[in-house]
Structure 1
Amino acid sequence: MAKRPASAIAQGNLGTAHHRRGQWAEAIGCYREALRLGPVTAQMHYNLGLALDEAGRGDEAMAEYATAVKMLPYFAQAHTKRARLLIARGRIEEALEHLRVALSYIADSTEAHYAPGLAMSELGRFEGAVTAFERVLESEPGNAQAELGLGMALMRVGRSNEALAVVEASARAHPKVAEVHGNLAIVQAELGRAEEAVRSYEAALRLRPDYGETHYNLGNALVQLQRYKKARAHFAEGVRLRPEFAAAREMLSRLSGF
């Protein structure tokens, strides 16, 4: 039986290897062990935050990013990652303060410029979000996150054909990015193109089968097509992956007879 690495550096390296393979639980375990062994570093808290973030454990990830910036106040990447999670939770003012700090240290950070577009979207200021995402794409053409943000913002201002063109082009350019296919599916579903949405959600899940939100969205698209048994299976998987996922649990209950 192989011995577990006994040093923090070895545990951190092993965590990184698991992280690169998308093995979030294993990566999280290694990073936690590295922190236990010490010395405790801001970078290791950040790495743990990234793995928790990818695993859909946003609250825990936020705590790790907060620890990282407390230990290293100029850790711009940690400020930016925490800001994005704060935006998702509607804590916009806090998020903008983290972004202000991040940009004061790394003025050319694409992600820190991208996040204000997210903030404006959360505030319902979609015209401003369109402008913010377009600025990111001017400086970094092909940025998948900005393309996704732009597509969703265009939908919200009624420019649905432009939105579809943006996310379709992004899916062609980034065929191995699950979130790209998932967002293409969202636009297709909102345009009433449920069959196409199902195919796009399925493409997303082939790339990332552990994404509970996509199982839920696919379930809803299948309900529109009256494929209730298959929809129920995806709602069940969403609940299995995220036991606290109330919306998926509710839909699973509604389809209990199928």
Structure 2
Amino acid sequence: MAGSFSKSSKSLVNSKKWIIQLGLFLAIAGCASQPPEKKFESSDAPYNIAQNLQRNWEGNPAISSADYHFALAQAYSNEGKVDRAIEEYRAAMAYDQESAILHAKLAAEYLKKGSMSYAVDECKASLKIDPSSVDVHLMLGGIYSLNNETDRSLAEYESVLKMDPKNDEAAVFKTQVLAEKDRIDEALKFIRGFTAKVNDSAAAWYYTGKLEQTKEHTNEAISAYRKALAIRSGFSQASLALGLIFELNKENAKAVQIYEAQLEEKQDIQIAGRL
């Protein structure tokens, strides 16, 4: 099983939906299994999913015990049973100690528990095996940011940008870290340079707008927010930020136009509250 688990995962991290820095949880792949013969209670689900998988694998020498424990770990993770998931990932690792993805999965579970030092160790172990994993670099950068280890956090994001200069997640996270440390000018210079080269990232334009607004560059902020909305219609945060600028400028008709356009795309309580 070393070959199958050690390959890097393109979608380990759901990086835009975790807390600001930790859009870094690993995406859990769905398990293919036969429908259960009876309806199980939620608490029984992980065990039964794995049992169904085990039955499917019987007699197949290509499938090892590592797969069973891995599937069970994912099922427990989906159930929110972090400790059980950790146990099963570790059981799988007993059969495949050189698996980058197993270390990364463990890191994500430790992160859910708030066990930062263990999460860091697992990220490092994963990167030692697969140093090219963008997802794990992003996760480690997020952990360092939460621990206020700014230089280490920035180094992880810069590693990603060296491998993938168009990675907007790394660019946005780097911008956030700099801004949070009141390095506003540095953050703005960086994100301006990024959007000059990568002009199709709604998130990058949105954070450009936020920083321009922080520096009271109103016209530049308006332009950046409009670009974000042109790329991603229904981008609530950008609509709200742009509308509030118009409200502050007493241009209420423009603000209403922005809010109504947003509500046509997607209902949003904050936006509706502005009308």
TM-score, normalised to structure 1, is 0.56
Corresponding position: 1:204 with 2:228 = yes
Report the residue type matching 1:67 in the other structure.
G
Give the greater-gyration-radius structure (CA). 2
Distance of aligned partners of 1:236 and 1:47 in 2 relative to their CA distance in 1, 3 Å threshold? farther
Using a 3 Å threshold, how does the CA distance of structure 1 residues 129 and 241 change in structure 2: closer, same or farther?
farther
For the pair 1:150 / 2:187, whether they are aligned, the reply is no
Tell me the equivalent position of 2:154.
Answer: 130
220, 230, 233: which one aligns with 2:244: 220
Residue 249 (structure 1) aligns with: 269
Deviations 1:111-169 (A, max 9, x none): 31122223333455544423332343345445433222222211111221111110001
Alignment of 1:61-210 (within 5 A): 65=28, 67=30, 71=71, 76=101, 93=116, 99=123, 103=127, 106-210=130-234
Contact 1:215-1:234 within 8 A present in 2 as well: yes
Q: 1:90 to 1:184 in 2, by over 3 A?
A: farther
Give the Cα–Cα distance (whole angstroms) in 2 for the partners of residues 70 and 225 of structure 1. Answer: 56
Give the 3 Å change call, closer, same or farther, for CA 165–234 of structure 1 in structure 2: same
Distance 2:185 2:238 in 1: 23
CA distance in 2, matches of 1:135, 1:107: 10
Find the aligned partners of 1:215 and 1:154 in 2 and give their Cα distance: 24
Contact 1:76–1:101 (Cα < 8 Å) also in 2: no
Unaligned runs of 5+ in 1: 1-45
Quick one: distance in 1 between partners of 2:185 and 2:215? 9
- Cα offset for 1:49? 10
Identify the structure with bigger relative contact order (alpha carbons < 8 Å, sequence gap 6+).
2
Q: Structure 1 residues 242 and 91, CA, compared in 2 at 3 Å: closer, same or farther?
A: farther
1:174 CA displacement: 0.5
After superposition, the Cα gap between the structure-2 partners of 1:242 and 1:127, relative to the gap in structure 1 and judged at 3 Å, is: farther
Q: 1:27 is matched with which residue?
A: none
Structure 1 distance, partners of 2:170, 2:16, is: 22
> C-alpha separation between the residues in 1 aligned to 2:238 and 2:248?
15
Counterparts in 2 of 1:122 and 1:197: CA distance versus 1, 3 Å:
farther
Q: Which amino acid aligns with 1:65?
A: I
Indicate the percent of aligned positions where both proteins have the same amino acid.
15
Partners of 1:232 and 1:252 within 8 A in 2: no
Q: What is the CA distance between 1:186 and its match in structure 2? A: 1.8
CA deviations on 1:92-119 (whole Å, 9 max, x unpaired) are 8597688567546633212311222233
RMSD (Å), alpha carbons: 4.6
Structure 2 segments unaligned to the other structure (5+ residues): 1-8, 20-24, 32-68, 75-88, 90-98
Shift in Å at residue 91 of structure 1? 6.3
**Contact 2:127-2:136 within 8 A present in 1 as well:** yes
How many Å separate the matches in 1 of 2:259 and 2:113?
A: 25
> How far apart, CA to CA, are the structure 2 residues paired with 1:239 and 1:49?
32
Output the CA distance in 1 between the equivalents of 2:183 and 2:154: 11
